[in-house]
Amino acid sequence: MKKYFHLGLAIWTIGILTGCNSLENGELTGVRGRERWTEPAPFGMNYIKGGSFNIGPNDQEISTSNTPSKTVTVAAFWMDDTEITNNEYRQFVQWVRDSIARTLLSEQFPEFLISEDRQGNALELPKINWKEKIEWENPDYTEALLPLYVPENERFFNKKEIDSRKLIYEHSWIDLKQAARRVNRYDYATQSYHGTVINVKGEEEQIQNRSSFMMKDQTPIFPDTLCWIHDYTFSYNEPLTTRYFWHPAFDNYPLVGIAWKQAKAFCHWRTKIYNDYLSGLKEATVYDYRLPTEVEWEYASRGKRQLSMYPWGGYYSREQNGDFKGNFKPLRGNYIEDGSLTPIEVASYHTNDFGLYDMAGNVAEWTSSAYDESAYMYVNDFNPDFEYNAREDDAPAMKRKVIRGGSWKDITYYLQAATRSYEYQDTAKSYIGFRCVRSVLCNEFYVPSEQ
């Protein structure tokens, strides 16, 4: 703090004495004209103050695994106060639908593309014009939009519907982990790269330039609504298959039927639309939205109760009056005993001390971490994480991703804050959803105004 105080005093003194550009005085003043930036609180997210805690079960917990305990420190982050709901994910689905529609229309109607900037200079890559309204029933657009619909020979009862198989989200990101490898660093002596990278298809490629670290992928983003049937043998779940994702009655219910890569694609899209908005306002962008690491999830779940078995504290799953504290499978298959047969509307139960709902029960949640039984033995104690982007031809064990929190169909053991479980990254289930997190800038000094 003293350094910054003296620096500010020096800048003030120079300005008073000379009134001239500070560079003329030969003093170190930093780049001038940069305004102080304050991080806004993201909508629907709670601030999770960084700290240290012991991952894994405490000495009083009965654990069926050999998971060890380890003291770790986690940086501050923002976390969604509820799981992502059906209606929130539909915003993503409709954005992808509309972007594909505008791309198709732009081939015949140039007004759906922006080819020049505000100064009239041609853009190297034209952008979609989101201000141009799509008139879906306009007969002039019918032929151009035809590839977006289910082909006539596949339509049920001749109903014209958007083909969910066409809803594919194309996105790119920079693989910083591969770029950080010493063998992949830029060689200033030869002014070239010598290493190799693994692309999204699992193929090894020679690094040509910086663009080699940019990964491009295409992800089908529509939920697997048939999961309600294929998850349960000899069970009647057709109403949930046809209604759970689309009917307004389920708008605020947690999203399910999402594979790990689809959850990652949603995080990428959420980052894009928010940072695009900030760029339009000429404001600095923020960190990416992403899935929480396994350790971040456990830290947030405990809600400042480091030795608690459950997010709500204590050793019991009921209130004093007998009501259950979460949505799970109590007793011996009596699903309805806790008040809901299936997932329930988010925020139906009390929060933990971080203000987070449903950190135990309702639906289990994807994390970004790969599952390994011995991960706690070798992960770092500073922001620990173990992540592995499995290829399609990898063994099934390499595709395991950590899920946390337990669900509406699980017994209380899976609701415990320390319980680890997994599912395969290419699998969508009727009891797994997710929520997003976002890292905090300058978290050591940040104090949210509302807390």
In a domain, 409, yes or no: yes
CB atoms within 10 A of CB 82: 23
Residue 53 sits in the same domain as residue 16: no
pLDDT computed for residue 61 by the predictor:
59
Q: Which pLDDT value is given to residue 118?
A: 73
Tell whether 188 is covered by a domain.
no
Q: How far apart (Å, rounded) are the C-alpha atoms in residues 209 and 195? A: 10
Same domain (yes/no): 25, 63:
no
Inside any domain, residue 166: no
How many domains is the chain built from? 2
∠ Cα 403 408 409 (to 5°) = 85
pLDDT value of residue 186:
94
Can you give the pLDDT at residue 314? 78
Side-chain-side CA neighbours of residue 260 (13 Å): 23
The reply to whether 146 falls in a domain is no
How many whole angstroms separate alpha carbon 286 and alpha carbon 28? Answer: 28
Give dist(CA 64, CA 413) in Å, integer. 9
The C-alpha R_g of the chain, in whole angstroms, comes to 25
Residues 6+ apart with CB under 8 A from 375: 294, 369, 386
Residues 251 and 311 in one domain: yes
Give the integer Cα–Cα distance in Å for 374 and 386: 11
Q: What 3-state DSSP class applies to 428?
A: coil
Instruction: Report the CATH number that the domain containing residue 439 is assigned in CATH.
Output: 3.90.1580.10
Q: Are residues 347 and 401 in the same domain?
A: yes
Based on the fold, state whether residues 30 and 53 are members of the same structural domain.
no
**pLDDT value for 100:** 96
Q: How far is Cα 291 from Cα 261, in angstroms, rounded to an integer?
A: 11
Please tell me the distance from the alpha carbon of residue 83 to that of residue 77, in angstroms, as a whole number.
16
β pairing state of 196-198 and 113-116:
unpaired
Instruction: Give the pLDDT confidence score for residue 203 in this predicted structure.
Output: 86
Nearest to 209 by CA among 221, 199, 195: 195
Full domain range(s) for residue 20: 1-34
- The mean pLDDT values, 10 residues at a time, for the chain of 451 residues are 41 43 72 81 93 80 65 94 98 96 92 81 84 90 93 92 96 93 94 91 90 94 97 94 96 97 97 90 87 97 87 84 88 85 94 95 97 91 91 90 96 92 96 96 58 46
Which one-letter DSSP state was computed for residue 247? Answer: S
- Residue 98 in any domain: the answer is no
| Residue 10 to residue 8: CA distance in whole angstroms | 5
Based on the fold, state whether residues 387 and 328 are members of the same structural domain. Answer: yes
Has residue 264 been placed in a domain? yes
> Does residue 383 sit within a domain?
yes
Residue 73 and residue 12 in one domain: no
Classify residue 314 as left (phi > 0), alpha (psi -120 to 50) or beta. Answer: left
- Is 295 found in the same domain as 374? yes
74, part of any domain: yes
Name the amino acid, one letter, at 201: K
- 24 and 76 part of one domain: no
Q: Which parts of 155-297 are beta strand (E)? A: 168-174, 196-198, 204-206, 214-220, 289-290
3-state helix, strand, coil in the chain (%, to 5): 30, 20, 55
